[in-house]
Amino acid sequence: MTPEELRSRAAQVRSREAAYAESFRVCTAESCLSLGSRALLHAIEGELESRELAERCRVKPVGCLGLCAQGPLVAAELRRGHGAEERSHLLRTVRAEHAAALVDGLDGSFDPGLELPVDLPFFEKQLRIATENCGRIDPHELDDAIGAGAYEALLQALYEKTPADVLAEVERSGLRGRGGAGYPTGLKWRTVAKNTATPRYVVCNADEGDPGAFMDRGVLESDPHRVLEGMAIAAYAVGASAGYIYIRAEYTLAEQRLRRAISQAEGAGLLGKAIGATPFEFNVELRLGAGAYVCGEETALLTSIEGNRGQPRPRPPYPAEEGLFGKPTLINNVETFANVPPIVRRGGDWFASIGTGKSKGTKVFALAGKITNTGLVEVPMGTPLREIVFGLGGGIPDGAAFKAVQTGGPSGGCIPAAYLDSPVDYETLASLGSIMGSGGMVVMDEHTCMVDVAKFFLAFCRDESCGKCVPCRVGTVELHGLLERFSRGEAGVHDLSLLEELCDLVKSASLCGLGQSAPNPILSTLRHFGDEYRAHLEGRCPAGVCTMRREGSS
């Protein structure tokens, strides 16, 4: 497909859409699906059929609408193309039996019990770039994606820019890796591009193993073409012609949608051979993870694609130098790739104008835990934590008090109330003893015990340690054992210093990021919630979570 063909196809799709006066978009991402949105979709279709309204009202399955806590969600767009003002409505907890009421509401008066206020901060405060099409397009249909601008940036790059131009644009954007470490994306691309060895590979890390994280899942289930386009642009920039997406086996829906998207894009000449009727070729294959957290680590991931046990290896050499099958390999996270097409389309300077000094653009967060509005949000970097938790997130339910927000998964830490006004960017979170991580934010209230949380993460790291290096394999067992003593009320003062020493050892001596960051949940809770550890020394669990073997003081 040439750029002209793409443009005219996009125009066709858009005029087809505009022919409808009204539309319902029904969320069919995992969470809403399991709350019954498939039946709802069919019920609305049936209702429109029977009232002979199918010609003027479109029903379309879409990806994540964001506010997962209130699913199944439906977005309604009214009076389109009639010259009248277009109005959007968002409807929540809609069941199949509400279908008739929904269709009744097409005159603009939905059941107030179903309708969410339009100016909800959850939506108002967002700035959506990576997720701009999530919840707008049908993730099953290439045409729908094209109507929303998919593959425009890829063809623009192929026709109007050299690989070096694309690289420069990404560098100018200041984009940093969204998978955890925040490594400058442009720099990584340049390292691969500079390497003279061939072939080169582009790999997408869709392993999303951090518990409490579901951003990548949301993007993949809602807009798979966006990720493919980002990968293809990257391949053009670094000179690769083959790529892999390593996706965790649990994400069946995302996997199916990706497979379908790949074959659609290949069929349309937007992936595979002769992309956009140019000599550029890029083939993407999926590889399924198999339930090993450490495979999210880049060297372990590549080893796993090669068909081996997913054990990491020391870096350097970095994958950019020696990666998959020993060849230069660019590996980026799903969200990183999802940011690339808008950067190419709108320019690096535009992207760099959003965010803070060293953290550019936006970040997608998965809000969950003891928070009212669980779901996915995308906000500019530098948005204060308070705004995310209490503004967009709607605060803590059931009148409970906020205690901490956990970011960065097992490699991260817990941030207490005192720092709620901190801006969320890579540097600030690191200075607070946590990390940006991949974007999971688990909110905890007064009923959560921080020693128990640290113990939870250490159990996680203990079980997920691949066993290759001793500090991690043995250290995580020991650390977990020590925390067990705290939560049983058996720990003494010397255990506190032992805990700190051991954390230091595991942090500095482990081979890969898993071990190096495994002590973080302990270190951050010790730093911000030292009182709770000391209470446990006295046989008390202030949150009432740990069952103490002995009561009273030591």
Partner 1 sequence: MTQRPPDAPAPPSDDARWKRIVATLRRLGHRPQSLIEGMHAVQNEFGYLEPAALRYLAELLVVPLAKVHGVATFYHHFTMRPPTRHTCVVCLGTVCHIKRGPAILAEIEKRYGVGAGATTADGSLSVVEARCIGACSLAPLVVLDGETIGPTTPEEVRERLDSCIAKTEGEPPRDA
Ligand X SMILES: Cc1cc2nc3c(=O)[nH]c(=O)nc-3n(C[C@H](O)[C@H](O)[C@H](O)COP(=O)(O)O)c2cc1C
By the criterion CB under 8 A, which residues form the site for partner 1?
30-31, 34-35, 68-69, 71, 208, 210-214, 217, 249-251, 287-293, 304-310, 366, 368-370, 374-375, 406, 409, 440, 442, 444, 448, 453, 456-457, 460, 463, 466
121 is a contact residue toward ligand FES (CB under 6 A): no
Nearer to ligand FES, 211 or 384 (CB): 211
Q: What is the 3-state secondary structure (H, E, C) of 477-523?
A: HHHHHHHHHHHCCCCCHHHHHHHHHHHHHHHHHCCCHHHHHCCHHHH
218 is a contact residue toward ligand X (CB under 6 A): no
**Interface pick for ligand X out of 37, 156, 195, 205 (rule CB under 6 A):** 205
The count of other CB atoms within 10 Å of the CB of residue 470 is 12
Please choose which of ligand X, partner 1, ligand FES, none residue 291 contacts, taking the beta carbon within 5 to 8 angstroms, the exact cut-off set by kind.
partner 1
Nearer to ligand FES, 114 or 367 (CB): 367
Please choose which of partner 1, ligand X, ligand FES, none residue 514 contacts, taking the beta carbon within 5 to 8 angstroms, the exact cut-off set by kind.
ligand X
Nearer to ligand X, 286 or 545 (CB): 286
438 is a contact residue toward ligand X (CB under 6 A): yes
> What beta strand segments (E) does 107-213 contain?
115-116, 201-206
Please choose which of ligand FES, ligand X, partner 1, none residue 181 contacts, taking the beta carbon within 5 to 8 angstroms, the exact cut-off set by kind.
ligand X
**Which segments of 73-138 does DSSP mark as H helices, in order?**
99-104, 121-124
459 is a contact residue toward ligand FES (CB under 6 A): no
Please choose which of ligand X, partner 1, ligand FES, none residue 341 contacts, taking the beta carbon within 5 to 8 angstroms, the exact cut-off set by kind.
none
Nearer to ligand FES, 132 or 210 (CB): 210
Nearer to partner 1, 344 or 376 (CB): 376
**449 vs 451: CA distance, rounded Å:** 6
Please choose which of partner 1, ligand X, ligand FES, none residue 156 contacts, taking the beta carbon within 5 to 8 angstroms, the exact cut-off set by kind.
none
**Interface pick for ligand X out of 173, 222, 264, 332 (rule CB under 6 A):** 332
Nearest 10 degrees: CA dihedral of 307, 290, 33, 90?
Answer: -80
Please choose which of ligand X, partner 1, ligand FES, none residue 127 contacts, taking the beta carbon within 5 to 8 angstroms, the exact cut-off set by kind.
none
Interhelix angle 530-537/470-487, rounded to 10 degrees, is 60
Nearer to ligand X, 123 or 236 (CB): 236
Please choose which of ligand FES, ligand X, partner 1, none residue 290 contacts, taking the beta carbon within 5 to 8 angstroms, the exact cut-off set by kind.
partner 1
Do 483 and 521 touch, CB atoms closer than 8 A?
Answer: no
Question: Of all helices (H) and strands (E), which one includes residue 146?
Answer: helix 142-147
> What beta strand segments (E) does 164-294 contain?
201-206, 242-247, 283-288
208 is a contact residue toward ligand X (CB under 6 A): yes
**Interface pick for ligand X out of 20, 183, 280, 318 (rule CB under 6 A):** 183
Do 73 and 27 touch, CB atoms closer than 8 A?
Answer: yes
The count of other CB atoms within 10 Å of the CB of residue 104 is 14
The whole-angstrom distance between residue 50's C-alpha and the CA centroid of its chain comes to 40
Nearer to partner 1, 271 or 454 (CB): 454
Q: Shortest approach of partner 1 to residue 231 CB, angstroms?
A: 20
Question: Is residue 130 packed enough to be buried (19+ CB in 10 Å), middle (13-18) or exposed (0-12)?
Answer: buried
Q: Shortest approach of ligand FES to residue 368 CB, angstroms?
A: 7
Tell me the CA distances in angstroms from 184 to 56, 355, 411, 523, one per residue in order: 48, 15, 19, 27
Residue 26's SS3 state is strand
211 is a contact residue toward ligand FES (CB under 6 A): yes
**Interface pick for ligand X out of 222, 333, 362, 520 (rule CB under 6 A):** 333
Structure tokens at 526: 């010790």
Kindly determine how many residues on this chain lie close enough to bind ligand FES according to the rule CB under 6 A: 2
425 is a contact residue toward ligand X (CB under 6 A): no
Q: What is the largest CA-CA distance in the chain?
A: 78
- The radius of gyration of the chain from alpha carbons, rounded to an integer in Å, stands at 24
Q: Shortest approach of ligand X to residue 474 CB, angstroms?
A: 17
Secondary structure letter of residue 175 according to DSSP:
-
Q: Shortest approach of ligand X to residue 397 CB, angstroms?
A: 29
Non-local CB neighbours of 96 within 8 Å, separated by 6+ positions: 36, 39, 40, 42, 43
Which stretches of the chain bind ligand FES, using CB under 6 A? 211-212
Which stretches of the chain bind ligand X, using CB under 6 A? 177-181, 183, 205, 207-209, 294, 296-298, 331-333, 336, 438, 512-514
